[in-house]
Amino acid sequence: MLKNLFDILLGRHLSNEEEQEHRIGPLEGIPVLGLDALGSSAYGPEAAATLLLPLGIAGTKFVLPVVLCLIVLLLIVYFSYRQTISAYPEGGGSYTVARENLGPVAGLIAGAALMLDYVLVVAVGISAGVGALISAIPSLQSHTLALCLVTLTLISGINLRGVKESGFAFIVPTYVFVFSTLGVLVWGVFQTILAGGHPVALVNRAISPMPTLETASLWLLVRSFASGCTAMTGVEAISNGVKLFREPTVKNAKRSLGIIIGILALLLLGIAYLAQAYGISATNPGEPGYESLVSQLVAAIVGRGSVYYVTIASVIAVLLLSANTGLADFPRICQILANDNYLPHILAERGRRLVFSAGIISITILSAILLIFFDGVTDRLIPLFAIGALLAFTMSQTGMVAHWLKNMGQKDRKNKPYFSIAANALGAVGTGVALLAVMISKFTEGGWFTLVCIPTILTLFYAVKRHYDHIARQLHCIDPLNYDHMRSPVVIVAIRNWNRMTRKALRFAMNITPEIYGVYVDSGRGTVQIDADWEKYVTAPAHQWGYHPPRLIKLKSPYRQLNKTIMDLITQLEKDHPNRQVAVLIPRFVEQKWYHYILHNHRSVLFTAALRLRADPRVIIISVPWYLQ
């Protein structure tokens, strides 16, 4: 029953051979790996514009320049990542690139930054989507957190079913979003041109912000740019997931990256240009009368008709689903780290649907904690978010520069990769400067948290690695089996009374050794019965068949500490038989129904656990199960 439930919820087991079949093409790549990047267009320009609010309506004219800077940075990153995809067709995540070219520490910093980033992608994506939904339907406000968690569970469930299904589930909302939003923007541009640059908004907001600053300082513009950098997140996803694409892998991945960056740039540009043209400014999130920039803009261009609702619905869907990028990528970076022994190995195990189930579950739990902690409102997470992404970018681009420089050294190469070096160096500098800008301007607003978090994660990586190395050293074995000093073990059988379980245990013991001790612990009830039974059922037949009979050892335990009493006996027997292994044979009644658990004492389970806790390498534990018919 449980099995069937899992089959329905998670789908049937997939064979290892089915992996190829589950690869994706460039267009499928957009929903699977690009949702995060595209979704960020819905909050990136708004984040930049919010910082310009103190300028009042005058601030709108600074949004476009800031967004143009972002687009330039985006294009730099695009060319830079194209190089990475070519150089690392096996999946060139920041971790791989930085580790191979800059050394393990750089790799781990990039890995930690990415892990942090993906968790934030999920939390921010979901809470932004739910936030958008709530501004459309204010009556849902009181259920913010519940909506976030339900969405998280749904997306997580889809991912546990495997990557192809999730791509398919997300394809429709993604394309609706792209076409409706681009369509609205094009229509807006058309209107603007017709109106000679000053179009009339179909729906206009009554409230206009009062300026509190007279002119824009450079610092304000830097802070606005830093906030807008959230629009950069998600670009990493493609180069990290190159392996997901079907042949020709590299070409498909590059195409997918190009399409995503292109759409994103158009969206950013369109939003910034039209916001200025229509004179729309951001409103303060979390205050009454808040309305998202995109919602205002769409309403201004097409009015609050069916086009508005379709567009906004697709924005909400894309925001909610953009969390999927995190859920698709976090398990992959975890797998790579786990294979290198920096994370628990279970993160590298494929589940029934070929996905890394443990990684999906981990990020689900981590982002659920974030959502619960911030009560579903993750405004304050947005700066952290950009820091993780930009840190990973910088490590990756710098690594790529080192990569090309190393390759240059190889004499047999004809075409020196000057272009590649230039592209990646530009990328490294660009993202590095942006990182610095975000870090400084957002330090007190949560940037410090990254500085705490990343070293913590690094410490964790090294602790895990140290543990695995330690085990590997201890388990490493170059000794062959040897057949010297072969001796049958000393077997101790724990006895409570003469019954079928006891008999079965003794029969098995007799089959493996002639040296058997039945141990009976007297906790106050006397030993008369067991003495008589042992003589009648064990000793007498042994003599009759001409065997050495198993011995009965009776122990007193006035403090009802059965386990300790038997442990002491084991220590004694080990002393008496210095060169032999001691096997403790525990008859175990196996409960086959859950409610049987409360009816039994679990002495055998507790005793087994106590034996293991004792950590005596000479003791082997044999469990002779007994099943109720």
Q: Find the binding residues for its own copies in span 454-513 (CB under 8 A).
A: 464, 467-468, 470-471, 474-477, 479-484, 486-489, 498-504, 506-508, 510-513
Q: How far apart are CA 129 and CA 294, in angstroms?
A: 13
Q: Which of residues 606-625 bind its own copies (CB under 8 A)?
A: 608, 612-613, 615, 617, 619-625
- Closest distance to its own copies from the beta carbon of 411 (Å): 35
Closest to its own copies by CB, 380 or 503: 503
Sites for its own copies among residues 82-111 (CB under 8 A): none
Choose between 72 and 471: whose C-beta lies nearer to its own copies. 471
- Among residues 61, 352, 554, 577, which is the contact residue for its own copies, using CB under 8 A? 352
In the complex, least distance from residue 104 CB atom to its own copies, rounded to whole angstroms:
19
Integer Cα distance of 157 and 87 in angstroms = 34
Scanning 44-52, 256-264, 412-420, 593-601 for contacts with its own copies by CB under 8 A, the matching segment is 593-601
Taking the complex as a whole, how short is the minimal distance between the CB of residue 407 and its own copies, in angstroms?
Answer: 31
User: What six digits make up the tokens of 535?
Assistant: 């003589």
Segment 144 to 173, residues that bind its own copies, using CB under 8 A:
none
Minimum CB–partner distance for residue 617 and its own copies (Å): 6
Instruction: Please state, in angstroms and as integers, the Cα–Cα distance from residue 184 to each residue in 39, 98, 263, 270, 370, following that order.
Output: 16, 41, 14, 10, 34
Contact map string, positions 379 to 418, toward its own copies, x by CB under 8 A: ----------------------------------------
Contact (CB, 8 A) for 284 and 56: no
Judged by CB under 8 A, the residue of 22, 23, 143, 350 near its own copies is 350
Chain-centre distance of CA 468, in angstroms?
A: 21
* Closer to its own copies by Cβ: residue 527 or 608: 608
Query: In angstroms, what is the minimal distance from the CB of 340 to its own copies?
Result: 14
Closest CA to 388 of 94, 74, 51, 148: 94
Rounded to 5°, angle at Cα 464 from 458 and 469: 125
Binding status of residue 594 toward its own copies by CB under 8 A: no
Residues 512-571 that bind its own copies (CB under 8 A): 512-513, 523-524, 536-538, 540-542, 545, 547, 558-561
Give whichever of 273 and 342 is closer to its own copies, judged by the CB atom.
342
Residue with smaller CB distance to its own copies, 251 or 352: 352
Q: Give residue 378's identity as a one-letter amino acid code.
A: T
Residue 442 DSSP one-character state? T
Compute the distance between CA of residue 268 and CA of residue 30 in angstroms, rounded to an integer: 17
Given 344, 405, 569, 610, the residue binding its own copies (CB under 8 A): 344
For 462, the token pair is 């090294």
Least distance to its own copies, CB of residue 338, Å: 10
- Residue 61 or 352: the one with the smaller Cβ distance to its own copies is 352
Beta-carbon count within 10 A of 434 CB:
26
Segment near its own copies (CB under 8 A), from 107-115, 269-277, 321-329, 344-352?
A: 344-352
Distance of alpha carbon 82 from alpha carbon 354, whole angstroms: 28
Q: Which is nearer to its own copies, 246 or 465 (CB)?
A: 465
Report the distance separating Cα 191 and Cα 198, nearest Å. Answer: 9
Shortest Å, Cβ 25 to its own copies: 25
Helix (H) or strand (E) holding 356: none
Binder of its own copies out of 146, 186, 204, 345 (CB under 8 A): 345
Q: Which is nearer to its own copies, 374 or 537 (CB)?
A: 537
Using CB under 8 A, which of 90, 349, 469, 576 touches its own copies?
A: 349
Q: How far apart are CA 92 and CA 336, in angstroms?
A: 11
CA distance 590 to 605: 10
Contact at 8 Å (CB) between 322 and 125? yes
Binding mask 1-30 for its own copies (x = CB under 8 A): ------------xxxxx-------------
Specify the residue, 349 or 576, whose C-beta has the smaller distance to its own copies: 349
Q: Name the DSSP letter for residue 535.
A: I
Tokens 């008496």 correspond to what residue?
576
**Minimum CB separation from its own copies for residue 145, in Å?**
25
Q: How far is the CB of 625 from its own copies (least distance, A)?
A: 6
Minimum distance, C-beta of residue 175 to its own copies, in the bound complex (Å): 34
Contact 229, 432 (CB under 8 A): no
H/E stretch holding 626: strand 619-627
Q: x/- binding map, residues 414-453, to its own copies, per CB under 8 A?
A: ----------------------------------------
The nearer residue to its own copies, 204 or 339, going by C-beta atoms, is 339
CA distances from 9 to 4, 32, 61, 242, 359 (A): 9, 21, 51, 28, 18
For 204, residues 6+ apart whose C-beta sits below 8 A from its C-beta are: 300
State the nearest-atom distance from the C-beta of 245 to its own copies, in Å. Answer: 21
3-state helix/strand/coil string of 487-499: CCCEEEEEECCCC
Q: Smallest distance, Å, CB 119 to its own copies?
A: 18
Identity of the residue, 320 or 530, whose beta carbon is nearer to its own copies in the bound complex:
530
* Beta carbons of 373 and 446 less than 8 angstroms apart: no
Q: Which is nearer to its own copies, 306 or 482 (CB)?
A: 482
In the complex, least distance from residue 100 CB atom to its own copies, rounded to whole angstroms: 23
CA neighbor of 519 nearest in space, from 579, 589, 568, 580: 568
| Cβ 482 to its own copies shortest distance, Å | 6
Least Å from the CB of residue 506 to its own copies: 6
Cα separation values, 340 from 111, 468, 471, Å: 12, 10, 14
Contact window for its own copies (CB under 8 A) among 324-332, 374-382, 438-446, 605-613: 605-613
Nearest to 70 by CA among 305, 227, 276: 227
**Do residues 554 and 520 make contact, with C-beta atoms less than 8 angstroms apart?**
yes
- Cα separation values, 597 from 393, 497, 610, Å: 54, 21, 19
Q: How far is the CB of 472 from its own copies (least distance, A)?
A: 9
- The distance from CA 474 to its chain's CA centroid, rounded to whole angstroms, is 30
Report the residue from 137, 142, 218, 627 that binds its own copies according to the rule CB under 8 A.
627
State in Å, rounded, how far the first CA of the chain is from the last one: 21
Total chain residues near its own copies (CB under 8 A)? 84
Q: Which is nearer to its own copies, 379 or 591 (CB)?
A: 591
Q: Is the dihedral of CA 25, 30, 35, 40 positive or negative?
A: positive
